[in-house]
Amino acid sequence: MKRVTGLGGVFLKAKDPKFLARWYEDNLGIPFGTNVYASLKWRNPDNPDEICTTAFSMFSVQTEYFAPSTKDLMLNFRVSNLFELLPLLKSEGVDVMQSTEEHEYGKFGWVMDPEGNKIELWEPNESGFGESAQTIPLEGEVNGFGGIFIKSKNPEAQGKWYSDHFGLVFQYGMHTFKWRQLNDASIQAKTAFTFFKEDTKYFQPSIKNQMLNFRVNNLRPLLETLKSAHVEVDPKIEDSEYGTFGWIMDPEGNRVELWSGNRN
C-alpha cells in the first residue's frame, strides 16, 4: 500500500494570522482573499487531468489544533486509505492520535513524529471543495511550494522515520513531492522536504524552526518589486544548476526562500 501520496497542507502559527495572510497575498500573490487559508492547485504528475490541492493556512499562536505539539508548523500529508493506514502505523509503534474526522472534502487523522511534530493525514475528496476545486491558476508570481525545511535534533533519524512509516524516499537527505503546474501540465515541478541540523545557519537571520520555499516565475523582477514595497530582501542571489534563489523575511520573522526553478 502506498502510504503518503503528496503534500496536502502547510499550516503555520502566527501572532496575527489575518495580517500575515494578507501580506502573502499582497506581496507574493497567494490567493487568501478574506480568509486565513489558501488553496494551491496542481496536477497529479501521473494523471494530469486530476486536479489536487495543497492548503496554506495561518493559525493563531493560541490554537489548540497543533496540540499536543508546541511547534509553529504542522504538515498535512495526502494518503490514499486513511483507515487502513492508521492501524498499520499504530502497529509499528507510531504515536497515533485517537480522534479522526470526516468532512465533505475528506477524512482526517493525526500522528506525532519522534521530535514532537504533529502530522495531519488526509484522504482527500477533491469534489467536496465545490467551486474552489475548479482550475483557477495562481495569478501572482508564486506557482507552488518549492520546499519545506525543518530543523531537527537528528536529521538522519527523522528522515529514516518518515521513510519507514510514510514511504517517503530521502536521497541526499531530501524527499521530493512531484507535481505538474495547474495552468501548464507540461511543466513538471517538485517540492523538496528536508531536515536541517538545529544549529544550521541557513535559516538566519530567522530563529524559527522552519523555512518555506516558494517556486516563482520571475525571481529577479519580483525581488525588485518587493524591495520597492519595503519588504526585507536579502541582497544575495544565488544561481545553481537547479535554478535561481533569493530570500526575504516576512513580518513574523520567517525567512522565505524564493526559487525560480529549471523547467524540469
Specify whether 124 is located in the same domain as 183: no
pLDDT of amino acid 3: 94
More confident residue, 117 or 261: 117
Provide the b/e sequence for 24-33 (b: ≥16 CB within 10 Å).
bbebbbbbbe
pLDDT of amino acid 136: 45
When pLDDT is cut at 50, 70 and 90, the band that residue 1 belongs to is confident
Specify whether 173 is located in the same domain as 193: yes
Average pLDDT, the chain: 93
Nearest C-alpha neighbor of 191 from the set 218, 160, 214: 214
Output the domain CATH number for residue 150: 3.10.180.10
Query: What are 136's three cell numbers?
Result: 483557477
More confident residue, 132 or 89: 89
Q: Which of 133, 157, 187 is the last residue of a domain?
A: 133
The enclosing H or E element of 18 equals: helix 17-28
The angle subtended at Cα 234 by Cα 228 and Cα 238, nearest 5°, is 115
Specify whether 13 is located in the same domain as 107: yes
User: What would the pLDDT profile of 14-68 be if each residue is shown by its tens digit?
Assistant: 999 999 999 999 999 999 999 999 999 999 999 999 999 999 999 999 999 999 9
Structural domain that includes position 170 = 142-261
Using an 8 Å Cβ cutoff, are 177 and 188 in contact?
Answer: no
Average pLDDT over residues 195-208: 97
Specify whether 163 is located in the same domain as 126: no
User: What would the pLDDT profile of 53-88 be if each residue is shown by its tens digit?
Assistant: 999 999 999 999 999 999 999 999 999 999 999 999
Nearest C-alpha neighbor of 210 from the set 78, 65, 62, 56: 56
Specify whether 184 is located in the same domain as 216: yes
pLDDT at residue 137 is higher than 60: no
Q: What gap in Å lies between CA 177 and CA 124, rounded to an integer?
A: 17
Q: Which of 133, 151, 176 is the last residue of a domain?
A: 133
Specify whether 164 is located in the same domain as 85: no
Specify whether 146 is located in the same domain as 193: yes
pLDDT of amino acid 2: 83
Specify whether 10 is located in the same domain as 110: yes
pLDDT of amino acid 135: 41
Is the pTM higher than 0.85? The answer reads yes
Residues of the chain above pLDDT 70, percent: 95
Specify whether 118 is located in the same domain as 184: no
Q: Which of 93, 113, 133 is the last residue of a domain?
A: 133
Specify whether 86 is located in the same domain as 165: no
Q: What is the count of structural domains for the chain?
A: 2
Specify whether 151 is located in the same domain as 185: yes
pLDDT of amino acid 133: 41
Specify whether 156 is located in the same domain as 126: no
Average pLDDT over residues 212-240: 96
pLDDT of amino acid 126: 75
pLDDT of amino acid 52: 93
